[in-house]
Amino acid sequence: MLKIDFKNMFSAAVGDEGGLTTTDIAAIDKSTAAAHEKLQEWRRTQDAIFYDIVSDTRILEGIPEAAKEISSRFDEFVVLGIGGSALGLRCASAALLPPYWNLRSKEQRGGKPRLFVCDNIDPETFAGLLDLVDIKRTCFAVISKSGTTTETASQFLVVLERLKRTVGEKWREHLVIITDPERGELRPMVRAEKLRSFAIPPKLGGRFSVLSAVGLLPAACAGMDIEGLVAGARSMASRCAAASLETNPAYQIGAYHHYLDTRKRKAISVMIPYSDALMLASDWYSQLWAESLGKQGHGQTPVKALGSTDQHSQVQLYMEGPKDKIFTFVGVESFRIDDKATRVSGADKAFSYIEGKDLGTILRAEQHATTEALARAGRPSLTVTFPTIDAHHLGEFFMLYETATAYAGALYGINPFDQPGVEMGKKLTKEILTKG
Ligand code: PA5
């Protein structure tokens, strides 16, 4: 089970200016019942369907079978999708696949395909990818909830032409489409061409969709443990079901961030994983927090950092710059390697303090030292600890933060599930391209 430590959020640890006092907690407690009720309402209207899909027994329907077939036929699996259609999978692959997955031989990958997630439409990167992969051995997953996103449509049309030119009539076999069951431009094509497809539940928005076919099908194709992801999310959903703040870690995250932002001017939320494998968890979180809560003049700016790297880049600012930040440390108790492999030996006197220590121990010491230093400087933080990095704990993490985000949305009094600002950009892009 993920460990979540709020000690450094409170005034006892960080002082009254940055931390939550008993008066603050009493004020927070007054808004919790209404926010909980709002979340229940969003569940009834299916706006918060992210919470309930994980307990639906059909969540994995068709996915293991399709993944088995795809991974036995193809050497490359390329995802075309952006925003919420890409970031959760990116995070899961970094966390759950062995490092340097795409550089490993097919044998080292257990026969599974390499995995590429193409979100941006930088022409050099995309052309580079198409040069790299053998189209005849590539399956493309086109992932778009709306089925209308310009970036994904552009990539898809480039790929489609390339596929038809290279494999002729067999082009259909190289595609899997993940989109809304009814709406958008992709669904009619699925029907007309009888393409392999998966449906995204109608009210499930991109940034809440990693635990649907959006994240699960590609994850399964690369051999990730999707049952573990779902089981972890399920157990976190029940851990976050209580109405009361003290027993609900997602509500605590949402409420403390909201309160410190609106009442103590902590307008920035920094997430610092102390693990390369979890580095993209902060990318995923940033999109979720920013796109869900940044509305009507509200919201808190998420910042991504990495420990210990950013101790040599950002931490000076975090320690002595403006007191406008809350920190989330994401740590790992036990790394997935034999500690002996990275044990320091032969240190001279100057480095005797690391003699016999492995890199995981040193990294954890760096994390604890930075947490403590920030607390002493009056800067609030919380710590989420993965006992080890695996599918179950990552599933827990996804559900924890999706629930925290929805709850914070209720406290801000905004709708966390839409993205009118993003839609406007999409519309204007179409207008510019139509004119020129
Ligand atoms: O979280 C969101 O809703 C957005 O980031 C979308 O995922 C992103 O804009 C891509 O949209 P779509 O999946 O409809 O192509």
In sequence order, the 6+-apart residues with CB closer than 8 A to the CB of 142 are 80, 81, 152, 156, 175, 176, 177, 178, 179, 186
Whether residue 33 is contained in a domain is answered as yes
Overall domain count for the chain: 2
252 & 220 share domain: no
Q: What is the CATH number of the domain that holds 69?
A: 3.40.50.10490
Q: At what angle do helices 391-412 and 22-44 cross, to 10 degrees?
A: 100
Q: Residue whose CA is closest, atom 2 of ligand 1?
A: 206
Which residues have any ligand 1 atom within 6 Å of their CB?
Answer: 82-85, 144-146, 149, 152, 205-207, 291, 419, 422
Residue 407 and residue 292 share a domain: yes
Q: Residue 33 carries which DSSP code?
A: H
Here the tokens at position 21 are 């006092």
* pLDDT tens digit at each of 436 positions of the chain: 999 999 999 999 999 999 999 999 999 999 999 999 999 999 999 999 999 999 999 999 999 999 999 999 999 999 999 999 999 999 999 999 999 999 999 999 999 999 999 999 999 999 999 999 999 999 999 999 999 999 999 999 999 999 999 999 999 999 999 999 999 999 999 999 999 999 999 999 999 999 999 999 999 999 999 999 999 999 999 999 999 999 999 999 999 999 999 999 999 999 999 999 999 999 999 999 999 999 999 999 999 999 999 999 999 999 999 999 999 999 999 999 999 999 999 989 999 999 999 999 999 999 999 999 999 999 999 999 999 999 999 999 999 999 999 999 999 999 999 998 888 888 889 899 999 8
Query: Does residue 206 share a domain with residue 235?
Result: no
433 lies in some domain: no
Q: Looking up tokens 């920035």, which residue turns up? A: 268
Domain that holds residue 417: 3-43+230-421
Residue 274: CB atoms within 10 A of its CB come to 25
Are residue 397 and residue 265 in the same domain, yes or no? yes
199 located within any domain = yes
Q: Are residues 69 and 162 in the same domain?
A: yes
Give me the catalytic one of 194, 312, 340, 349: 312
Distance from Cα 215 to the centre of ligand 1, integer Å: 13
Catalytic (active site) residue 392 = no
Domain co-membership, 259 together with 349: yes
Do residues 270 and 411 share a domain?
yes
Same domain, 374 and 240: yes
Q: Please report where in the chains the tokens 């709708």 appear, as a residue.
A: 415
Nearest-CA residue for atom 8 of ligand 1: 83
Specify the residue with its C-alpha closest to ligand 1, atom 15: 144
Active site residue 136: no
User: Per the domain annotation, does 314 fall within a domain?
Assistant: yes
Which residue among 76, 151, 291, 402 is the active-site one? Answer: 291
DSSP string for 89-126: HHHHHHHHSPTTGGGS-TTTTTTPPEEEEE-S--HHHH
